Each structure stands twice: as structure tokens, then as C-alpha cells.
Amino acid sequence: MCQRDFITSLLRGMTVLLLVMAAALPGYGQIAINKEAVKPVSPDSADVEYFRHKNFWRPLAEVVGFNLALNAFDRYVLKAPGEVVTWASIKKNFRGGFKWDSDMLGTNLFLHPYHGGLYFNAGRSNGYNFWQSELFAIGGSLMWEMFMENEYPSTNDVIATPIGGAVVGEITFRASDAVLDDRTWGWQRAGREIAAFVISPMRGLNRIFTGRAWKRSPTRGRVFGVPPIALRVSLGPKATIFESRQWEHSFGASLQIDLEYGHRFEPNTVPYDYFTFSAELQAVKEQPLLTHFAVKGRLLGLSMLQGKKSHVSVGLFQHFDFYDSDTIKTFDRVPYKMGIPASLGGGVFYRYQPDQSWRFDCYAHANAVFLAGILSDHYWTNKRDYNWASGFSIKGGLNWVFMHNRMSFTISHEFYRLFTWKGYAKGTDLSKVNYRTFNVMGDKSVASFNVTTARFDARIWKNIYGSLVFDNFMRSTNYRDFPHVKSSTQSLRAMISYKF
């Protein structure tokens, strides 16, 4: 194989990594005009048999070794004081018990789930299924909190790390699976192996440990074969308005990626045989690069109707949501922040297609939110500007595709109701608080967050579409000790989309 094959394979793998680490589309549960990027192929029986074999000691050693290596890096390279561990600090952790911590939103609700995904994939790449691999994520998280830091163990981390880690871990595992092909060799094989390692480092390590990274096989060496995948990539300018007062230094660019994996209306008993994830990355002055990350993974799905014109399916879904913005200096305000790594609920899909010229899709989800972080206007530390919370969410949307797939219209809405139920005593002077031991969720409050998205697509040529996307974000927080706060933010994007 030539060097160009290596570069092509590596770029394909990095594209999948981009999809995995940044994938989130505001509110969309489905891609309106769904085109499968590849033809589905069932996994080879020899590969299925191979991946049934489990190895307990290897993933256990990987979880323990990862935690020890990370602690050493933080302690000796980053010089982090919180990683200097002694027997006295371990005893203090057990005696002091769990507390709500004050790390940044991205650390607690994005990086910790990523670390949980590494623990999860230590088991997943050694023959364990989704549920069994979650035990490695739980064990790795508890080990880190109790033994690897001299700060009190974190209540939020032992929830976000294993539960959010299952989301990130399963998606990265399946993404690496789609990259690998043990039939190849040379530059192409090297490109695939490097890309798979970057996407799922634990799986990459296990392929090296077992020799599969260089062993050539008559089969692909994949757990899932070639699954049905639909992909949409959109790029274009973006403008944002805050509080309906002025367009605020927000003209920039937006990259949006949507992926749908599996069949919406086919039943599944294997978790994540159907899921969606998508993302918006932006280049806007003083705003975060990753503004949204979302996943909807179906744990269990049932087909309720497979008619000639109508289809209905229901399922149990795991949700992961992450929204981020930063301070708008003109108003000295942050519009919104929210992260939800642990959410579970029921969902239903419906499709009506009387003929080939048009079809109608809709979906709805109702979820319990076990852990969330939502922007606070008052509870500020040097790292944290959000309240911990729990509550519920309701999501819904519809797609109307017409003119033989030439045009589509999508509208969706997400509603979150989040309760910060463990607040601090009224009159507490937060400037004198030791946040390392101050065990509260934040301001005693009830917050609502609404996200509405409308999108129109029109085909320009073949798989290229012109897209117009409007987003509306509304936050409303009722505080026990402070005035009610509301904010609204709108964005408009004109994009060129390519649908595979």
C-alpha cells in the first residue's frame, strides 16, 4: 500500500474522532434526509466468536495502571497539589465522605466522562459487554476519588464519570470498530490502527498487547461488522444576538456534524445498536470552540408498527447533553451553560410516508435527569459558575421531507427543569467560604432551560444542500435568596451541507 492510503485512512479515522468528541446537534433526534454512508454488512462469525472471550486481569491492570500514571503525571509534571497522596490523605477521604466539588463545567461534565470512557473501554475491548464494562468504569472512578487525590471524594464525579463514561466509551468503541480492517496491510493498515488508537486508546493498547494491531486476517476483525450510518456535515457563517438588543461580536463560522447510527424502526436489545450524536463547533470571538455536545443512545428498542405507510418504535434511551457559552463583555453576562451526563428516559419515533414524494417523521422523549450542572448568576468560585442540580427533561421534534428528498424542514424543542435542592444557608458570605469543604450544590434555585431549533434544507446539486438554521436559547432561574433571572439568545446560521 502507498503512503497516500496511510494518509487517507488516518484522515478517515480523525474524521470519526471529530464526530465522536465533538458530535452534537441542537435538539435533533434524526437526520431529516437520511442517506446511508456505507452499505451495511453483518459481522463475520469468526470475529463474533473471538470477541466472546473475556480477560479479567488485563482490563483490571489497565484501569489501575491508568490511574497511577495519571496521578504521577499530574503530580510530577503539572505539579498539581491535589495529587500528592499519602496514607493520611486516604484516611481523610474515607472519614470526610463525599462532597460536591467546584471544578469547571468542562472538567466535571466533559473530561470526567471521557476518563470514564477509558475505564469502560478497558473492559469493552477485552470481551465484556456494555453492562459488564460499566463495572470497570465504576471501579476506576471510585479508585481515583478515594485513593488518587488528597481532596475529598466528589459526589458528582462518581456519577458523571461512570454513567457519562458509558456514553463516551460505547460511542468511541463503535467508532474505532468502524475504522479497523484486519484484512489490510502496509500504510493503509498503519493509518487505520493509529486512527483507532486515537479514537479509543484502551482498545488500541489491547490490540498491541494481543498482537492484533499487526496480525493480518481474512476478516475485518470488527465486533459490529459494517453498521448502517448516515452522516451530514454543515459549514457556514453564524451570527448571534443576546437579549434581543444587538448583534454582539458574534459573527463567525460554525461547523455542524450529525451522525445517525443504526435503524430507527428496527428493534434492538443490544445497547447503542441505534444512537444519534452530533455537534456544533464554532469560531466566534471570545466564545468556546465546542458549544454543544449531545448523544441519544437507545438501550432497548421495540418495533410497535411496521406498516406499508406508517412505522412506530419505542425505546429506553440514555441521554448526554452539553451546552456552553462564555461571557459577552458588552453586557458582562454569560448567556447559558448546562451539562447533563446522567439522564435516562423513554422515547418514541413515528413515520408516515404515503409515497416516495414526501414523508413525515416525529419523535418525543421524556427523561429523568439524575445529575446536571446549570449556570448560576451568584455561586462563583475561581473555577465554578454553575449549580449542581437534578430534575427532568422533555424533548420533541418533527421532520417534513418533500419534493422527492429535495427539501426538508425540521423543528425541535428541548425543555429542561432542574432543581438545586441542597443550597447554603441564607445570608452566607460566599467570599469567606472554603469551597473544598463547602458541601452544597449551589444556590437554592429552580432553573428552566429551553432550546428551540428550526432548520430548512434545499438541494443544490446531488448530495449538496443549502441550509438555514435558527436557534433560540432561553434560561430562567428562580432563586430563593436573589431576584429571578431570565436571558434569551438567538443564533442564525447559513450553511452548505453535505449528506452522505
What are the φ/ψ torsions at residue 327 (nearest 5 degrees)?
-60, 130
Q: CA geometry: angle at 464 spanning 463 and 468, to 5°?
A: 130
Question: Could you give the percent of the chain with pLDDT greater than 90?
Answer: 72
* Residue 60 confidence (pLDDT) above 80: yes
What is the predicted pLDDT for the residue at 30?
59
- How does pLDDT run across 416-457, given as a tens digit for each residue? 999 999 999 988 988 888 888 889 999 999 999 999 999 999
Question: Which among 361, 425, 369 has a CA at the least distance from the CA of 397?
Answer: 361
Of 69-83, 109-123, 127-141, 188-202, the poorest mean pLDDT is in 69-83
Q: Cell 443544490 maps to which residue?
A: 460
Which pLDDT band, with edges at 50, 70 and 90, does 29 fall under? Answer: very low
- How does pLDDT run across 133-177, given as a tens digit for each residue? 999 999 999 999 999 998 899 999 999 999 999 999 999 999 999
What is the predicted pLDDT for the residue at 13?
43
* Residue 236 confidence (pLDDT) above 80: yes
Of 32-46, 320-334, 356-370, the poorest mean pLDDT is in 32-46
What is the predicted pLDDT for the residue at 83?
78
Question: Could you give the percent of the chain with pLDDT greater than 70?
Answer: 91
> Distances in Å between the alpha carbon of 294 and those of 50, 130, 248, 488?
32, 19, 26, 21
- How does pLDDT run across 395-417, given as a tens digit for each residue? 999 999 999 889 999 999 999 99
Residue 437: count other Cβ atoms within 10 Å of its Cβ: 10
What is the predicted pLDDT for the residue at 5?
40
Q: CA–CA separation, 367 vs 476, rounded Å? A: 20
- How does pLDDT run across 335-370, given as a tens digit for each residue? 999 999 999 999 999 999 999 899 999 999 999 999
Of 151-165, 273-287, 461-475, the poorest mean pLDDT is in 273-287
Question: Which among 108, 111, 118 has a CA at the least distance from the CA of 64?
Answer: 118
* Across 53-63, average pLDDT: 95
* Across 67-96, average pLDDT: 89
Q: What is the CA radius of gyration of the chain?
A: 23
The larger pLDDT score, comparing residue 136 to residue 15, is at 136
What is the predicted pLDDT for the residue at 34?
61
Residue length of the chain = 500
Of the ranges 10-24, 239-253, 297-311, the best mean pLDDT one: 297-311
What is the predicted pLDDT for the residue at 297?
97
Helix axes of 130-147 and 165-179: crossing angle, nearest 10 degrees:
120
What is the predicted pLDDT for the residue at 16?
41
Residues whose CB falls within 8 Å of the CB of residue 410, separated by 6 or more in sequence, listed in order: 28, 32, 397, 398, 399, 400, 453, 454, 455, 456, 457
- Residue ranges with strand state E in 262-385: 274-283, 290-306, 310-324, 337-355, 358-375
* Across 220-241, average pLDDT: 92
pTM: 0.89
Grid cell, residue 116, equals: 470514564
Q: CA–CA separation, 214 vs 182, rounded Å? A: 8
Residues whose CB falls within 8 Å of the CB of residue 131, separated by 6 or more in sequence, listed in order: 271
Of 118-127, 292-301, 433-442, the poorest mean pLDDT is in 433-442
* Residue 11 confidence (pLDDT) above 70: no
Residue 79: exposed, middle, or buried by beta-carbon count in 10 A (0-12, 13-18, 19+)?
exposed
Question: Which among 374, 396, 322 has a CA at the least distance from the CA of 25?
Answer: 322
Determine contact, residues 457/236, Cβ cutoff 8 Å. no
Which pLDDT band, with edges at 50, 70 and 90, does 10 fall under? Answer: very low
* Across 209-227, average pLDDT: 92
Q: CA–CA separation, 293 vs 26, rounded Å? A: 8
* Residue 39 confidence (pLDDT) above 70: yes
User: Mean of the per-residue pLDDT values for the chain?
Assistant: 89
What is the predicted pLDDT for the residue at 66?
96
Which pLDDT band, with edges at 50, 70 and 90, does 72 fall under? Answer: very high
